[in-house]
């Protein structure tokens, strides 16, 4: 059975413990709840009493990255913490600070991907800082799409700093020959100031389509999480062309990124 639009309309609710998050740790960090909304609903960022300075926010991202790589926190806790961080920064202030970094445009892709620009934060001597994570802008023209793809050996967060996106996520349940078995988890519009994150166990597959014009994300990437493996691995899949299984999961074929770019346009 091919994937039907109704499959996007499921809801999933879960408490903190369902994702391996220690409730006391989360509350101590100021995160009272972590809830996942109905598919198709927008996620509203919390309004903290006090915003962080951009430099402190950048440092905190590094602290979380090092804690994750050092095994001090689990990926689910990292995800909860970076989602909380997204509500604690003024986008304009962050962008003013990022503008002082060293920003390098990556070579253009042959696919319909957005343009990537690598961000390197500098110390007082003008040298790149070692923060424990990579940072980049992804600049979307109205026709650009990040097609559905899964990840290994890494986590990432994607803060919307301009425009808005339709974001669709899937959990990666397992791999089979030539396919991933996935389950839809979220389908929502992320506005400027909102964040999407992925880990090995939660929302591992993502799919971004800009809404109504150009848009931009500021990404934080932590790779090399599995010693002895490649730093990261990404594979495109075709969930729309997949088969819905009895339990509601989808067997999504793995496809080349070029084929994904041709199929997954802004019309989908």
Local confidence band at 44 (pLDDT 50, 70, 90 cut-offs): very low
81, 65 Cβ separation under 8 angstroms:
no
Residue 149's nearest CA partner among 74, 75, 80, 203 is: 203
Query: What is the CATH class of 8-263?
Result: mainly beta
**Residues 196, 174: Cα–Cα separation, whole Å:** 22
Block residue for tokens 């990840």: 151
Predicted confidence (pLDDT) per residue in 70-122, tens digit? 999 999 999 999 999 999 999 999 999 999 999 999 998 888 999 999 999 99
**Residues 113, 162: Cα–Cα separation, whole Å:** 17
**Residues 120, 137: Cα–Cα separation, whole Å:** 11
CA torsion sign for 108, 128, 229, 204 is negative
Whether the per-residue pLDDT at 5 is higher than 70: the answer is no
Whether the per-residue pLDDT at 22 is higher than 90: the answer is no
Local confidence band at 48 (pLDDT 50, 70, 90 cut-offs): low
> Average pLDDT, stretch 196-223?
98
Domain boundaries, the chain: 8-263
């Amino acid at each position: 059975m091919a994937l039907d639009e109704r499959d996007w309309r499921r809801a999933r609710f879960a408490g903190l413990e369902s994702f391996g998050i220690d409730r006391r740790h989360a509350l101590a960090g100021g995160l009272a709840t972590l809830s996942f909304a109905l598919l198709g609903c927008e996620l509203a960022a919390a309004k903290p009493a006090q915003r962080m300075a951009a430099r402190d926010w950048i440092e905190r991202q590094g602290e979380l990255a090092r804690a994750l790589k050092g095994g001090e926190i689990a990926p689910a806790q990292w995800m909860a913490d970076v989602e909380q961080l997204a509500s604690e920064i003024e986008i304009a202030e962050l962008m003013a600070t990022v503008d002082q970094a060293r920003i390098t445009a990556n070579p253009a892709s042959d696919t319909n991907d957005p343009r990537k620009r690598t961000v390197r934060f500098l110390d007082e001597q003008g040298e790149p800082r070692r923060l424990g994570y990579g940072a980049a802008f992804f600049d979307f023209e109205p026709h650009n799409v990040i097609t559905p793809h899964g990840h290994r050996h890494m986590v990432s967060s994607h803060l919307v700093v301009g425009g808005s996106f339709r974001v669709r996520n899937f959990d990666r349940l397992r791999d089979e020959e030539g396919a991933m078995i996935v389950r839809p988890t979220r389908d929502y519009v992320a506005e400027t100031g909102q964040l999407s994150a992925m880990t090995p166990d939660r929302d591992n597959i993502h799919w971004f389509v800009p809404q109504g014009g150009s848009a931009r994300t500021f990404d934080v990437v932590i790779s090399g999480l599995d010693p002895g493996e490649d730093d990261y691995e990404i594979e495109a899949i075709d969930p729309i062309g997949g088969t819905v299984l009895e339990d509601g999961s989808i067997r999504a074929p793995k496809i080349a990124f070029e084929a994904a770019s041709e199929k997954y346009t802004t019309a989908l």
